Amino acid sequence: MALYFGNTSDSLVADALAGFARAHADLVAHDVEQGFVRALHTSPARRVGLVSGGGSGHEPLHTGFVGLGMLDAACPGRVFASPHNRQVFTASRAVAREDGVLHLVKNYTGDRINFGIAAERLVHEGIACSRVLIDDDLASESEEIAAGRRGTGATVLVEKVLGAAADTGLGLRDLTDLGTDLVSRCRSLAVASAAHTAPTTGLPAFELPFDRMEYGVGIHGERADHTVPRRPVRELVGEMAGALERSLGLGKGASVILLVNGLGSLTRLELYGVLEDAARVLDARGITTERVLVGDLVTALDMRGFSLSLMVSDAETVKLFDAPARTAAWPR
């Protein structure tokens, strides 16, 4: 057993995927052999299939966003490990449309490699394939880290807006360009007061003193440069929002979509309190919060903390964000 409530560590992801497919049989079909889920209902106007995936442990990402208006398919890997390129290839071939397939990939080496191999195989079979690389995590921005920023919370915003755009009938080139532009308009930052349970040991992945927090933690428990003292959430959220604004070059008069995302074990009381403070902070700085999305949407197993994401928005983005979607976990 790996996590506390399970059968064997080998069956953890497979059992969960079976349960997911069972609970949401009205929304998704589950390819048990190949290990992916695909949408049962999609827009006939869509000309490009949208495929995402990545390590398990971030649920509801990505399977929870498969369905009408968002992803055509999602490929979960083992916990915190990339899906195999064969999964990605098979899923992509299954949902490819007249104008091919677009891969939505969080920026991690394993995912880049496996989606990359799958893409080569697809092109070899005559299926057009392009990629949008999501790299929103401000904490991993450093000139010393050649890998670039990690992909985290904003992934769900990108999946939603691109899904709605795909349903307008955009082609592969336009959709890729839009995705790349969307990603450039997103930044996220995460804090944690306690680590997730490491599936290999069943123990916390790292220890934090009671009155310290990890400022800039990653969704696999990647540590920040340093811990910081615990502080009132109003103050904390002010710092985080300030850092996101600076990175995006936002000033008075800007408009954003705000994501307040629980990392796993945060209570709803805390999460909605964070939301209230974040919205007030942005308001006080003259930034318009056009839309708010809240929930445990991009998690790090049972990590205790939250992330804030901003996506710079215009009327078109908001319209796409508002377009109806029907998936297991899209909360609006």
Nearer to a copy of itself, 125 or 276 (CB): 276
Burial of 226-243, coded b for 16+ CB within 10 Å and e otherwise, reads ebeeeeebeebbbebbeb
Q: Dihedrals φ, ψ of 77, to 5°?
A: -90, -170
Residue of 24, 30, 58, 84 with catalytic role: 58
Q: Return d(Cα 259, Cα 309) in angstroms, integer.
A: 5
Helix-strand-coil percent breakdown of the chain, rounded to 5?
35, 25, 40
Q: Return d(Cα 294, Cα 302) in angstroms, integer.
A: 17
Residues that bind a copy of itself (CB under 8 A): 1, 3-8, 11-13, 15-20, 22-23, 56-57, 59-60, 64, 79, 191, 193, 197, 202, 210, 213, 230, 232-234, 236, 260, 264-277, 279, 292, 294, 296, 299, 301-302, 304-306, 328, 331
Task: Find out whether 107 and 117 touch, Cβ atoms under 8 Å.
Answer: no
Min CB(330)–a copy of itself separation in Å:
10
Task: Find out whether 263 and 305 touch, Cβ atoms under 8 Å.
Answer: yes
Nearer to a copy of itself, 86 or 212 (CB): 212
Min CB(247)–a copy of itself separation in Å:
22
Nearer to a copy of itself, 56 or 176 (CB): 56
Min CB(97)–a copy of itself separation in Å:
28
Residue of 24, 62, 84, 220 with catalytic role: 220
58 is catalytic: yes
Nearer to a copy of itself, 87 or 92 (CB): 87
Residue at 116: amino acid letter: G
Q: What residues act catalytically?
A: 58, 220
